[in-house]
Amino acid sequence: MSLQSIIDLESRFGAKNYAPLPVVLATGQGAYLYDTEGKRYIDMMSAYSAASFGHLHPRLVAAMKRQLDRLDLVSRAYHSDNLGAFCQDLAKLAGLDACLPMNTGAEAVETAIKAARRYGYDVLTIPEDKAEIIVAAGNFHGRTTSIIGFSTDPACRRGFGPFAPGFVTAPYGDAAALEALIGPCTAAVLVEPIQGEAGVIVPPEGYLASLRRICDRHGVLLIFDEVQSGLGRTGRNFCFEHENARPDGLIVGKALGGGLMPVSAFVARRGLMDVFDPGSHGSTFGGNPIAAAVGREAIRVLGEENLSRRSAVLGKVLLEALRAVDHPGIVEIRGKGLWVGVELDPAHVNAKDVCLSMARRGVLTKETHATVIRFAPPLVIEEADLLQAVDLFHDALVEVHSAAAVSCAEQI
């Protein structure tokens, strides 16, 4: 089938809930992707961090194959021989006590919300059905109806109400403003250490540590959503480690599945996790033997291949290279580790057009909020490929800016 016929087939029989670039991918390896015609691309997206360890990492593929030769799915009606070890490895990595595996990141967020509310009633003695969770403006925690109810993005919310109460919104990055919202019914604070979908928004230095102190002072829970920022993305195993701001609960996903399958988890201190009892929460596929095998190997790969350190080192290279790009269309460059957002001025360049131009040059990424280009390559990327991607980004900026200037001149 031709590229266009494949795209047309998806458009005809699929939902139009995404606006993908006109690229049809067929194979991948490491930091490279290849389309149906064999063209190679440098991956600067990593499937929103789900492919942080690279595409088809041989160790992860081998671990999955070994498990497929042994056992597939038994549900949580019985024990499996690798679930406990997986939970132990993840809890130790996070410096917490217990792990509740799920599948998608949104499921793990929902798990955290349920845990926080029950903790609020059982431990903090908040009146029934009055518990509140403080969230941040600009957040993105998933697509379920309860989660989008506390989103501040109109595109996420339109047409999907009514929404559940119980969420209070604070400005992101302003610890004092958040503390002022804590009241007698506050059970928890739930934030992303870096807001990814919002455009890689990095809060002021000290913000995470301030949240830890505030939550301790008021006796409420601190929960970090590290579905995108976790497992090496920001140059540490978890972003909260940059400020030694260990949370009471941690939400992990995406990279935990090694790019092979959906694996997520809610990790917490024992006092929080123990609000769950049999029948209170669950998932048929959550923590299944294949997920546990892949998740354990992902944790090993993260440590044994020093990927967090690699992200820190190459992240500095990426930031320096991007800051050396001289173009009037660039408004701001922000990021941490191998996770950078470049804010563009729409008066000079259109972000989607820049992504299309980059794709034609062999670099794949995607804009967010119409003005930000994201750079989040697999942590296994080579420095030469990273620098080449930045060079091609510059070329794309020049092309799009020039084309816009010509268009304006023709209209005049």
Query: Catalytic residues, which ones?
Result: 140, 225, 254
Give the phi and the psi of residue 10 in degrees, each rounded to 5. Answer: -65, -40
Output the CA angle 296-144-82, nearest 5 degrees.
15
CA–CA distance, 248 with 215 (Å, rounded to integer) = 10
Which residue is associated with the tokens 């029989």?
A: 13
Task: Specify the amino acid at residue 339.
Answer: W
Per the CB < 8 A criterion, the answer to whether 252 and 227 are in contact is yes
Beta bridge partners of 342: 333, 373
> Considering all CA atoms of the chain, what is the largest pairwise distance in Å, rounded to the nearest integer?
72
CA–CA distance, 132 with 314 (Å, rounded to integer) = 40
Beta bridge partners of 344: 330
Tokens representing 138? 């600009």
CA–CA distance, 87 with 84 (Å, rounded to integer) = 5
Task: Specify the amino acid at residue 198.
Answer: A
334 by DSSP, 3-state: which? strand
| DSSP one-letter code for 201 | B
Per the CB < 8 A criterion, the answer to whether 361 and 394 are in contact is no
Tokens representing 360? 């034609």
CA–CA distance, 332 with 5 (Å, rounded to integer) = 39
Per the CB < 8 A criterion, the answer to whether 345 and 329 are in contact is yes
167 by DSSP, 3-state: which? strand
CA–CA distance, 331 with 95 (Å, rounded to integer) = 38
CA–CA distance, 127 with 144 (Å, rounded to integer) = 26
H or E segment to which residue 406 belongs: helix 383-411
Q: How far is CA 316 from CA 120, 168, 228, 312, 336, in A?
A: 41, 36, 19, 7, 8
Tokens representing 374? 């994201």
Tokens representing 388? 């080449």
